[in-house]
Structure 1
Amino acid sequence: MAEDDRPGLANQALLNKIDKLRELNAKSIELPQLVVVGDQSSGKSSVLESLTGFSFPQAPGLCTRYATLISCHRAPEKHVAVSIILRSDVDEAVESRLRAFKRSISNLTNEALLRIIEEANKVMGIRMTADDTDSSLQH
């Protein structure tokens, strides 16, 4: 079976077209998306690991308390860019702090991703564990 004849996500030509539409920021076309939902410790990270090919940190007390968008693109070099997407009703003081959070890394390791998640939680004011005594953080 030729590469362009394969169905769905195995079709390289189709994936290239989807990437091009994303690059162009096409809003009027419904592009494929996958949502992973489940209870705590139900295997969501394992599903994402199998789809993306990189490991997600599994540390005691670590869980995300917010939606996480992962957008994968084919490129000659591995590269990860992390930023915070704001909700529409955020106040201006918080907005500038959250927009300033950007991390970029070429060699993503489990430890590096854990640090990025910890930094993002702190910037968003989210407490990672019940033992965290920083009063500026939320539960």
Structure 2
Amino acid sequence: MDTRIVEVEAFSVRGFDRIGPLTMIPELWENFNSALAENEIHADESFGVCLRAEKDEFHYIAGINSTILAGLANSIEVTIPKGKFIVGLVEDGVHEISASFETLMQRKDIQFRPSYALERYVHPKGSTGFEIEVWLPIE
């Protein structure tokens, strides 16, 4: 897996959230993407933010940068604190996201810090596909 270290300033993500098993995430994205299309909103990137993970229950947000999405009914906002992240490129599609997170979490050469884990989907306007990255906060 290709990785890199990035340092970001704090930014906010606004979108739809749900609490439940990982299996609820695809439907959440469907609902969020439909709402964006209905409101003619396009972003070159979107984020899946894991607010909490306990056993088989996740609190997850499907969203975009809040500067693009100032308001949308039933949406919530979370701020990603500034700091460093190790970023891994997910190969072979969304079904490999969990395995990509696991691979990064096994690294012994980095120290993780408390913050949100996230996915970044890069999909420039006019593109037919997207690139997926997993981000884990590090010291």
Q: Tell me the TM-score range normalised by the shorter chain.
A: under 0.3
**Larger gyration radius, structure 1 or structure 2:** 1
Q: Which has the higher strand share?
A: 2
Q: Which has the higher helix share?
A: 1
Question: So what's the TM-score if we normalise by structure 1?
Answer: 0.27
Question: So what's the TM-score if we normalise by structure 2?
Answer: 0.27
